[in-house]
């Protein structure tokens, strides 16, 4: 069953159990979707307000994009589970099996792809959160800051789920390529999320 169809309480209960999935990757995707939704809420509260008439078109486009990102991130909860289970199965193959290494390498590569995609989706959502913070309703400014904080957490959590798998890849050139991609996303968008949070916080303490 798609665990995103669970209630919040059911999802957390399964997450805290000994079940192999959902795990860190699925949790990262869900937190990313929540962060994205917070940004979308800022946009929704901005639409139709005369004070923000000049940015209505931009806000509408941002909301449209973020609704798509929300769906994609929620889809990654199940995708992460589907990618992890074959990897877990591959590790159970007897070491003397001549096919083990090839199967394990392929499964590990697949397990890297989902968390990296989660990072890419979070990066796009962080850009949107920045725009919502700059152009959206001041009454919902704290929510734009919360969006950035959630999205940074999701970005970092997803990266760890990528790094644990790249560490196991036999193809070290590919592992380094994927690691660099993750590090770039963390550097650029982690910093952007921090700047959004800081700007929002300072606006309340000034």
List pLDDT tens digits, range 112-132.
Answer: 999 999 999 999 999 999 999
The residue behind tokens 């589970």 is 81
Place of tokens 């990262």: 28
Q: Cα(77)–Cα(4) distance, rounded to whole angstroms?
A: 7
| In contact, 145 and 92? CB cutoff 8 Å | no
Neighbours of 173 (CB within 10 A): 8
Phi, psi dihedral angles at 127 (to 5 degrees): -60, -40
Per the CB < 8 A criterion, the answer to whether 110 and 87 are in contact is yes
Q: Which domain holds residue 176?
A: 24-205
The verdict on residue 8 lying in a domain is no
Residue 13 falls inside a structural domain: no
pLDDT surpasses 90 at 167: yes
Phi, psi of 93 (to 5 degrees): -65, 135
Report the CATH number at residue 46: 1.20.120.680
Q: Are 171 and 41 in contact (CB under 8 A)?
A: no
Residue 55 lies in a domain: yes
Q: What DSSP element (H or E) covers 53?
A: none
Looking at the domain assignment, is residue 15 inside a domain? Answer: no
Residues 87/111, Cβ–Cβ less than 8 Å: yes
DSSP string, 114-146: HHHHHHHHHHHHHHHHHHHHHHS-GGGHHHHHH
pLDDT tens-digit series, residues 83-117: 988 998 999 999 999 999 999 999 999 999 999 99
CB neighbours of residue 82 within 10 Å: 12
Tell me, yes or no, whether 19 lies in a domain.
Answer: no
Classify residue 63 by burial, with Cβ atoms within 10 Å: 0-12, 13-18, 19+.
Answer: buried
pTM given for the model = 0.96
Q: Say if 14 falls within a structural domain.
A: no
Percent of the chain with pLDDT over 70: 100
How far apart, in Å, are the Cα atoms of 52 and each of 3, 16, 141, 184?
38, 43, 14, 34
The answer to whether residue 2 sits within a structural domain is: no
Residue 161 in domain: yes
Q: Has residue 206 got a pLDDT over 90?
A: no
175-205 residue pLDDT tens: 999 999 999 999 999 999 999 999 999 999 9
The count of structural domains within the chain is 1
Smallest Cα–Cα separation from 150: which of 37, 53, 71?
37
């Amino acid at each position: 069953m798609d665990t995103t169809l669970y209630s919040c309480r059911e999802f957390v209960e399964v997450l805290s159990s000994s079940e192999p999935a959902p795990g860190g990757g699925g949790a990262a995707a869900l937190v990313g979707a929540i962060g994205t939704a917070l940004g979308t809420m800022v946009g929704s509260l901005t639409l139709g307000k005369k004070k923000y008439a000049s940015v209505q078109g931009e806000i509408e486009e941002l909301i449209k994009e973020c609704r798509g990102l929300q769906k994609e991130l929620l889809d990654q909860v199940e995708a992460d589970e589907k990618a992890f289970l074959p990897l877990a199965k591959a590790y159970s193959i007897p070491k003397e099996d001549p096919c083990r290494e090839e199967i394990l390498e392929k499964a590990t590569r697949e397990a890297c792809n989902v968390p990296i995609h989660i990072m890419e989706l979070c990066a796009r959502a962080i850009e949107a959160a920045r725009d919502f913070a700059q152009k959206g309703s001041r009454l919902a400014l704290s929510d734009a800051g919360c969006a950035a904080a959630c999205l940074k957490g999701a970005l970092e959590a997803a990266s760890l789920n990528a790094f644990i798998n790249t560490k196991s890849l036999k193809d070290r050139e590919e592992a380094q390529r994927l690691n660099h991609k993750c590090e770039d996303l963390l550097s650029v968008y982690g910093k952007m999320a921090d700047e959004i949070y800081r700007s929002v916080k300072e606006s309340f303490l000034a």
